[in-house]
Amino acid sequence: MIGAIDLQVGVDAVSFGALFAVMALGLALLFGVMRLMNFAYGELIMVGGYTMYYTRDFGALPMILITIVVVVFVSVLMELIAFRPVRHAAPVTLLITSFAVSFGLQQVAFMTVAKGRQKGVEPYPWLTDQHHIAGLRLSNLDILTLLVAAGLLIGMTLLLKRTTIGIQLRASTEDYQMAQLVGIRGNRVISFAFAITGLLAAAVCILFVLRTGSLSATMGVTPLLIAFVGGAIGGLGSLTGAALGGFTLGVVINSIQSSLPVDLSGYTLMFAFLFVIVVLVIAPSGLLDLTRRVWSAATTRFEVLNRRAA
Amino acid sequence: MSSAFALGRRYLRAAWTPIVLSAVIVITWAIVENAGSVTLEEDVMRLFLWMMLVLAWQLFSGNSGVMSFGHVAFMAAGAYFSALLTMSPTLKETTFADMPQFLASWIRPAELGLFESMLAAGALAALLAAVFGIAVARLAGIAAAIATLAILVIMFTFIVQTPSVTGGSDVLVGVPRETTPGNVAISLVVIIFAVYAFKQSRHGIRLRASRENQEAAQSVAVNVRLERYIAFVIAGVICGVAGALYAHYFSGFAAADFYFELTFIVVAMLVVGGMQSVAGAVVGTYFLTIIYLTARRAEVDGALGIEWPSGTANLLVAIALLLALILRPSGITGGREVPWPGALWRRKGAVAASAAGTVPEEVKEAITAGPSAPEATTRSRPDAPTPTSGESL
């Protein structure tokens, strides 16, 4: 019985973790390519949310398609207007720029779509239908989240490893200047990166809104903070690290919130951010990188010992 | 007699920037006192309190080049702590019925005046900044920015989640209204002098050196972490004091007052004004406050025959920040302090002459090249500010 409950918690946690991993991935991509910590990522999710609201009567598939198109468009537009002029500035200047874009978009939302009464997207009833598989409750939404997250992660990996543009993107992530020197077109790669971010934001937005249902001008802040923490813990420079970091965070937060007494669970964000500060100080390039270094140090030591023994 | 005059002139020149900036503050204060308008007073108080924060930001971020997104957290701590120490004991009895005993035993009976509570707020802010500063001082660039942002989120979450001590996310009411424009103006003048003195002190100079080139600064034995730490804590104290003044002017405030929106406005003011100078902090605050409050007025009363939706003011601030970042990254002042009038007159003359085309070619070159060029050293006074640095140390 206890085993089943633990497993149930595990399923929920994994579903959350997958969602958080996708969130962190979108943030890490831009950080990798242009050292941009994009605050406005949350606002892409917000834009997607309101697009869903205005297209909710068109049926599920058109709604999803329009949302993706709109969010990708806004994301690319954002790069053209705000980030291209300051591209070569220091990372902190880029961060402030994205802060301005994020805040500006929130205000535009306040002035237009978020005005008046609270809006919401009613989740489709079939999403909350539950299946009982081997004693576990699995809602369609959980399955959908897992499938979409897995699909996106695999798709991203294939895109980055197998396609020309993906390889160019990774090259730019490694060393932007060198990539330009060998003939990679910076503008194209960066526009592409923003488009991918938009796609990831749209996916996060759809899964997130279907889960919570409510919309507001500041709805992007929470997913952004989560992605922020996940990315910082896993290592924002590396895509795998960020995805793993986001996943771990989702699992940890979900397990904490289901096991701690209710009045302490509100502090989750506080502890998460305290942890971020600690990670930044002891392993600025992320925990994944730290484990790698510790591992390689340990194996080298082991080899040395082996050789001595022989 | 003439040497005493020269000495006085030297001191005046050394303190020229804070003197001019303080004069601006005092004039603004005098206008408020004489106008007798409540809305104007409230606007100017907002301006003054924002300016305190911007000055604190200038002290840390402007000198060190490490962007902070977290000092509003220390303001929040100062505001809540000072409010708790000055509210009437009976009110605290009812508002904070389940405050933990170890706090309630000394917080409930406390009934301090404004000045003592300002000191207490500054002390708590110093303590918190001293703890968080250990981490932030070790970081630079984007990591430091994330860490300071984390401080902001931690403080906000703590306040919202701990209603037994802070009232949670509700508005905390009943704080005695003791702050007057005079209190704030005087504090502001003190802070302006302190921030400018810090900038010119050995700590400020070391910190600015580390901003320009960290490795070079370290190679001449500048302890970058220590200098950052000192600036971080001093800026925290200023924010704590500003929080106390804020709490005792608006008398009702909530946790959401000290979060992303305020941080954003302060960062925008600093960047738009020019973060490398104290004058930039003051100019940026005046500039954006006027835009912001005019737009706020338009949101309420309407302007140009249109109803302006709420959010216009914040949107204008965001646009101003974006334009500044794209068009003029060093801000309105370009990182310069208030120019000494003599130098201003001389440089204006030189530029006007070169524009008129009456100056021979090599003199023009000398003017653009600055005093490092051989001709220029003979033509311009050695203590005149160079066009590149624009500030005299």
Task: Quote the pLDDT of residue B76.
Answer: 93
d(CA A108, CA B313) in angstroms, rounded, equals 11
Task: Quote the pLDDT of residue B371.
Answer: 44
End-to-end alpha carbon distance in chain A: 51
More confident residue, B390 or A26: A26
CATH number of A2-309, picked from 1.20.1270, 1.10.3470, 1.10.10, 3.30.70: 1.10.3470
d(CA B179, CA B192) in angstroms, rounded, equals 19
d(CA A281, CA B362) in angstroms, rounded, equals 54
> Could you please report the per-residue DSSP string of B58-88?
IIIIIHH----S-HHHHHHHHHHHHHHHHS-
Nearest to A273 among B150, B160, B310 (CB): B150
Task: Quote the pLDDT of residue B369.
Answer: 44
- The contacts of residue B221 (CB under 8 Å, 6+ apart) are none
Task: Quote the pLDDT of residue A6.
Answer: 63
* CB-CB neighbours of B378 under 10 Å: 9
Task: Quote the pLDDT of residue B78.
Answer: 92
pLDDT at B351 over 60: no
- Chain B CB within 8 Å of residue A301 CB: no
Task: Quote the pLDDT of residue B199.
Answer: 92
Task: Quote the pLDDT of residue B387.
Answer: 40
What does R_g of chain B's alpha carbons equal in angstroms? 23
Using 70 as the pLDDT threshold, list the residues of chain A that sit under it: 1-9, 123, 125-128, 133-137, 257-265
- In chain B, the residue whose alpha carbon lies closest to the alpha carbon of A101 is B318
Give the distance from residue A309's alpha carbon to the nearest chain B alpha carbon, in angstroms: 41
d(CA A260, CA A146) in angstroms, rounded, equals 25
Task: Quote the pLDDT of residue A253.
Answer: 77
| pLDDT grade for B345, boundaries at 50, 70 and 90 | low
More confident residue, B161 or A132: B161
**Residue boundaries of the structural domains of chain B:** 11-272, 341-379
What does R_g of chain A's alpha carbons equal in angstroms? 21
| pLDDT tens readout for residues A18-34 | 888 888 888 888 887 77
Task: Quote the pLDDT of residue B203.
Answer: 92
For range B210-231, the mean pLDDT? 90
Say if the Cβ atoms of A96 and B321 lie within 8 Å: yes
Cβ atoms B143, A95 nearer than 8 A: no
| pLDDT tens readout for residues B21-78 | 999 999 989 888 888 788 888 889 999 999 999 999 999 998 988 889 989 999 999 9
pLDDT at B365 over 50: no
Which amino acid, one-letter code, is at A185? R
Task: Write down how long chain B is.
Answer: 393
Lowest mean pLDDT among B10-24, B135-149, B163-177: B163-177
**Residue boundaries of the structural domains of chain A:** 2-309
| pLDDT grade for B229, boundaries at 50, 70 and 90 | very high
Give the distance from residue A111's alpha carbon to the nearest chain B alpha carbon, in angstroms: 5
* CB-CB neighbours of A136 under 10 Å: 15
Say if the Cβ atoms of B318 and A35 lie within 8 Å: no
- Chain A CB within 8 Å of residue B154 CB: yes
Percentage of the residues of chain A whose pLDDT score is greater than 70: 89
Average pLDDT, chain B: 81
| pLDDT grade for B1, boundaries at 50, 70 and 90 | low
- The contacts of residue B7 (CB under 8 Å, 6+ apart) are none
Nearest to B318 among A104, A270, A280 (CB): A104
Residue A208: burial class (beta carbons within 10 Å; 0-12, 13-18, 19+): buried
* Best mutation target, A30, A96, A221, A267, to test chain B (most B CBs within 10 A): A96
- In chain B, the residue whose alpha carbon lies closest to the alpha carbon of A91 is B142
- Chain A CB within 8 Å of residue B323 CB: no
Nearest to B329 among A89, A107, A232 (CB): A89
Cβ atoms B254, B169 nearer than 8 A: yes
**Which residues in chain B are closer than 8 Å to A284, comparing Cβ atoms?**
139, 143
B307-to-A248, A306, B78, B300, B320 alpha-carbon distances in Å:
48, 79, 37, 8, 21
Number of inter-chain CB pairs under 8 A, A vs B? 118
Closest to A201 measured CA to CA, from A68, A89, A300, A8: A68
Say if the Cβ atoms of B268 and A225 lie within 8 Å: no
Cβ atoms A238, A29 nearer than 8 A: no
**Which residues in chain A are closer than 8 Å to B150, comparing Cβ atoms?**
273-274, 276-277, 280
Cβ atoms A121, A49 nearer than 8 A: yes
Task: Quote the pLDDT of residue B344.
Answer: 54
**Which residues in chain B are closer than 8 Å to A276, comparing Cβ atoms?**
146-147, 150
Closest to B141 measured CA to CA, from A36, A32, A129: A36
Give the distance from residue B107's alpha carbon to the nearest chain A alpha carbon, in angstroms: 24
* Best mutation target, B67, B142, B160, B323, to test chain A (most A CBs within 10 A): B142
CA A191, A192, A197, A202 torsion: positive or negative? positive
Cβ atoms B55, B238 nearer than 8 A: yes
- Chain B CB within 8 Å of residue A97 CB: yes
Q: Is B272 helix (H, G, I), strand (E, B) or coil?
A: helix
- The DSSP secondary-structure symbol of A138 reads E
Lowest mean pLDDT among A287-291, A294-298, B291-295, B385-389: B385-389
Closest to A39 measured CA to CA, from A110, A108, A96: A96
For range B368-379, the mean pLDDT? 41
- In chain A, the residue whose alpha carbon lies closest to the alpha carbon of B137 is A281
Task: Quote the pLDDT of residue A189.
Answer: 87
Task: Quote the pLDDT of residue A112.
Answer: 81
For range B97-113, the mean pLDDT? 77
Task: Quote the pLDDT of residue A260.
Answer: 58
Task: Quote the pLDDT of residue B357.
Answer: 43
CA count, 13 A, side-chain hemisphere, A144 = 16
B84-108 as b/e: b if 16+ CB within 10 A: bbbbeeeebeebbeebeeeebeebb
| pLDDT tens readout for residues B175-196 | 888 888 888 999 999 999 999 9
Say if the Cβ atoms of B309 and A280 lie within 8 Å: no
pLDDT at B352 over 60: no
pLDDT at B379 over 60: no
Cβ atoms B142, A95 nearer than 8 A: yes
